[in-house]
Amino acid sequence: MNKKTILRLMILVFVGWITFVNWDDIKNINITDFVSNSENIYITMAVILGLFALKSVIFILPIPMLYISSGMVLPIYIAIVVNIAGVLIEVSLTYIYGKFLGADYIDKIVCKSKKLQRGLELNQQNEFIITFLLRITPVNIEMVSLMLGASGNYYRNYLLASLMGLVPKLIIFTIIGYTMTNPVTFAIVALFSLALLTWGALIMQLKKRDLVSGFRG
């Protein structure tokens, strides 16, 4: 067993131990309360970004709740920007983890999911399109990032395709959070409708080109 493999195992054991020891606290995290405790907007933004970074290690944190919580406690356009920055942090970190762990380790995880297996096969044909497709389908965001990082996808294309697939959903959930604590205005309705139509149009275009059926197959 080489030094790199030993280092990987040590890190995995350490992360697993930290998660196990703090499991009761982790599973009872109330994200909304967590981000709304500070009256300083900059501290709130830093906390939200920190939670996105934490999510790259603790996969059980639901990303829609991060989007919604940000919308509840921040002005809408700031919330959207913060959520986009958080997603960039999250998908970048998990991409790096995937590269570090390597293809052999990730293959053992991917083989447990038919969708991820199919995604990995199609990724060899067109990594940009498949990255985008995986981001708009209900596949675990961290597992996709780990898989694509281990597959050696070009980082800039990976990041762009990830944002294209995730941002419409991100905007929708951020607006949902915002409307829970703020009055609904015409601008908010227009932004929500635009995001929803964009997301729907992207999915319809993929179906039209048989990419969705190809992924499911």
pLDDT digits (tens, 9 = 90+) for 116-158: 666 666 666 678 888 888 888 777 788 888 888 888 888 998 9
In a domain, 1, yes or no: no
Domain count along the chain: 1
In a domain, 70, yes or no: yes
Q: Which of 24-28, 70-74, 129-133, 175-179 has the lowest mean pLDDT?
A: 24-28
Q: Higher-confidence residue: 194 or 137?
A: 194
| CB distance 87 to 142 below 8 Å | no
Q: For residue 95, what pLDDT is reported? A: 92
Mean pLDDT score, 192-213: 72
In a domain, 206, yes or no: yes
Q: Which domain holds residue 148?
A: 30-216
In a domain, 23, yes or no: no
Tens digit of each residue's pLDDT (9 = 90 or more) over 67-103 = 998 998 899 999 999 999 999 999 999 998 888 877 7
Residue-by-residue DSSP string for the chain: --HHHHHHHHHHHHHHHHHHHTHHHHHT--HHHHHHS-S-HHHHHHHHHHHHHHHTT-TTS-HHHHHHHHHHHS-HHHHHHHHHHHHHHHHHHHHHHHHHH-HHHHHHHHTT-HHHHHHHHHHTT-HHHHHHHHHHTTS-HHHHHHHHHHTT--HHHHHHHHHHHHHHHHHHHHHHHHHHHS---HHHHHHHHHHHHHHHHHHHHHHHTTHHHHHH-
Which range in 115-124, 145-154, 175-184, 198-207 is most confidently predicted, on average pLDDT?
175-184
In a domain, 130, yes or no: yes
Backbone angles phi, psi at 33, to 5 degrees: -65, -40
Q: For residue 26, what pLDDT is reported? A: 46
In a domain, 37, yes or no: yes
Q: For residue 217, what pLDDT is reported? A: 44
Give the tokens for residue 192.
């929500």
Tens digit of each residue's pLDDT (9 = 90 or more) over 101-111 = 777 766 666 66
* In the predicted structure, residue 58 carries a pLDDT above the cut 60: yes
Q: Higher-confidence residue: 110 or 201?
A: 201
In a domain, 7, yes or no: no
In a domain, 56, yes or no: yes
Which range in 14-18, 116-120, 170-174 is most confidently predicted, on average pLDDT?
170-174
